[in-house]
Structures are given as structure tokens and as C-alpha cells.
Amino acid sequence: MNFLDFFQDHTCYLCHEEEGTIPYLCPQCRDRLDFQPGYRQKNGQAIYNGFFYTGSLRKILTDYKFESKTYLSKTLAHLFIQVLGQFDPGQDLDGFVVVPSAKETLKKRGFDPMDLIGLEIHRLSGLNYYQGRLEKIKNTPLQLGLSGKEREENLVQAFRARDLEGKNILLLDDILTTGSTLYQASLALEEAGVHQVYPISLSA
Ligand SMILES: [Zn+2]
């Protein structure tokens, strides 16, 4: 339990009823999330996605990232594990990486949203987290408002990976839009010698 948690009221973030098995989420609000796991095709890449990025999930993710509600990383990690529970890679996995923030974004925001979720996923599932092995080396402007092609150009060589040769890994991100972030991150991982990359998104 960290400092923030200690002072955080353990009720549902959305309706303030008692939380259930997922921190800060009650069973009723959990059931209302639109969970439809399956593959989406983006840029010729099959991306496994869990939830629809609507309503309550959108609120949780937005408040987590933009209002620094860092304790919601626990809620989101549980939801991510729900997605991973449906996913079958068809072979043994070595672990996972997350799509990281660029250093400048990290400085401004004060935390790396996917890194916190990654640490929680590791804590809850025991799955290896190759923390820091995938880096965002170019600080790309916010993807919002850019066209698909602009996003693509914006992200070219935005990532660098290391020390993952021959591994089968999951690549995790929170929101899937055009798929270019996961695509570029996958390229960096393949360049670093990763054997198999499985891109997985919490929501789309
Ligand atoms: Zn609720």
C-alpha cells in the first residue's frame, strides 16, 4: 500500500458504492463496462483488444492520465488482466513490455501511466515485466487531432528497445486508435531481436 492509497477512500470511483474484487470499482459498474475481447486489424497487424473505450472506462482512463489519479492504476491493471485472461498466444510467453511515455511527458505529468499499470500487472500476475527495455526516444506531440498519415510520420523511430533477443513478449497499451503507436513500438522490438511480439490494447 502506498502513501496515496492510505488516504484514498476505497469506494467505487464511479458511483461511490462499496468496491468489489477490483480496487475502486463496484461489481455493478464493472458489469457495465463494454468488454468484447477480440482481434482488430490495424496496419496489417492483428491487435488483441479488450474493452470499448466508452463511458466509464473512458472516464477512468482520462482521470487517471490527465488528473493524476495514480491509484486508478490498480483498477486498470485488474481490467488489463481480465483482457490477458482471454488472450491465447499459442506458445510460452517470456513476459511483457508496455508502451512508455517519452521522458519530457513523464517530467510534465510526473508519472508514466503504462509503467504504473505494468508494475501492478506484474505484482498481480507474476508475469515478467521487462521494465525500461522499450523506450520512447522521440517526444512526439499529442496524437490527438492528427490524421492517420501524420500520426504515422510522427511516430517513425519514436521507440528503441534493448536486451530482449529471442523473447516472446506481450506489448501493452491503454488505448488503440489508428494502431500506429503499437505498430512503431513493435518494429522497434523486432529490430531489437524479439522473436514474437503480441500487441494488446486495454481498450479501443
Ligand atoms: Zn460503482
Q: What is the DSSP string of 68-129?
A: --TTHHHHHHHHHHHHHHH---SS---EEEE-PPBHHHHHHHSS-HHHHHHHHHHHHH---B
Would you call 162 exposed, middle or buried from its count of C-beta atoms within 10 A (0-12, 13-18, 19+)? middle
Q: What are phi and psi of 37, to 5 degrees?
A: -65, 140
Q: Which residues pair with 202 in a beta bridge?
A: none
Q: What is the pLDDT of residue 138?
A: 80
Q: What is the pLDDT of residue 4?
A: 56
Q: What is the pLDDT of residue 3?
A: 57
pLDDT digits (tens, 9 = 90+) for 37-56: 999 999 899 999 999 999 99
Ion ligand 1, residues whose Cβ is below 5 A away: 12, 14-15, 17, 26, 29
Task: Report the C-alpha gap between 154 and 126 in whole angstroms.
Answer: 34
Model pTM score = 0.89
Q: What is the pLDDT of residue 152?
A: 65
Tell how far the Cα of 154 is from the centroid of ligand 1, in angstroms. 38
Under a CB-based contact definition with an 8 Å cutoff, are residues 137 and 103 in contact? Answer: no
Q: What is the pLDDT of residue 156?
A: 66
Task: Report the C-alpha gap between 105 and 188 in whole angstroms.
Answer: 20
All residue ranges of the chain with pLDDT < 70 are: 1-7, 139-146, 151-156
